[in-house]
Amino acid sequence: MTTQYNIDSPLKIGTRGSPLALAQAHETRTRLMAAHNLPEAAFVIEVIQTTGDAVQDRPLSEIGGKGLFTKEIEQALLDGRIDIAVHSMKDVATVLPEALIIDCALPREDVRDAFISPKYSKIAELPEGAVVGTSSLRRRAQLLAMRPDLKLVEFRGNVQTRLRKLDDGVAAATFLACAGLKRLGNFELANPIETADMLPACAQGAVGIERRRDDEAAAALLAPIHDQDTFIRISAERAFLKELDGSCRTPIGGLAELSGGRLVFRGEIIRPDGSETHADQWEGLSADAELIGAKAGKALRARGGEGFFE
């Protein structure tokens, strides 16, 4: 299937409607405009509401885990209502529908988590028993491993919603991804946490672009904006996640970094209550990214044993 995308037949870009998702879709459009010398009119941004956006009163782990922010967008892609889909890669399931492919990634943004509080600048400053809001099981488990005295409450919603909850005193602190804050121009709120202290979610800070496998015109359009280093890194991280059957129901951290043709991968699994952590580091050739990630996943799954995440 081939279509020539232009002003008369614009490329339809599917995205969630949150300010961050829209910022990522606009970045994609800007990069495509520059790469192909096309006007804005050659692109249409289509906002699609997802289950994850519609259901705000329950933890993600209760309503189905990964895929909650992508399922409806992928259906629109399969139905031909949109031509490409822009995703935060940490929200994307490790197995895609057969007819779809993600083979384009934008240059990765800051991978770190940010500690956000109107009163404190780091986790260590929080008083005993302080209330911290987060909807991420990974961050909850990591935090409980460091500070079992803290009280954790569910904190769903987009960046603006969570900041409003802090202002309303629902919690003393929360966490957001540095990448999202940078893309929204709110990085001044961040107290970045180094990855040695808090390993990020797999593929955090990475934006991937999904298309129909048989759409050669979309493939040709996306090729010039693809960042191979980002793609190699998230391939290792997603292979790790896949091996562990990682979803929003499992506390898993993983980060791959490249240096001179070699890839260093750090991974960890944590019991949901923070009582036990298994972490290690693996390395090899960057060409073996997926193999390294899968090997790390198998190793940690074996160490954790049956029922580790229960």
- The catalytic residue positions are 91
The phi, psi pair for 293, rounded to 5°, reads: -60, -45
Integer Cα distance of 284 and 309 in angstroms: 28
Distance (Å, rounded) from C-alpha 296 to C-alpha 255? 11
Other beta carbons less than 10 A from residue 5's beta carbon: 21
Residue pair 175/115 in contact (Cβ under 8 Å)? The answer is yes
From residue 305, alpha-carbon distances to 30, 75, 247, 271 in Å are 47, 36, 18, 11
Evaluate whether 210 touches 67 at the Cβ level (below 8 Å). Answer: no
- Sign of the four-CA dihedral 95, 219, 110, 264: positive
CA distance 50 to 67: 9
Tokens describing residue 287: 């060409």
Is the CB of residue 263 less than 8 Å from the CB of residue 231?
no
Which class for 169: exposed (0-12), middle (13-18), buried (19 or more C-beta within 10 A)? exposed
- Sign, CA dihedral 112-178-131-156, equals negative
Q: What share of the chain is helix, strand, coil (3-state, %, to 5)?
A: 40, 25, 40
Alpha-carbon distance 162 to 254, whole Å? Answer: 24
Tokens of 150: 């803290």
Contact indicator for 209, 261 with CB cutoff of 8 Å = no
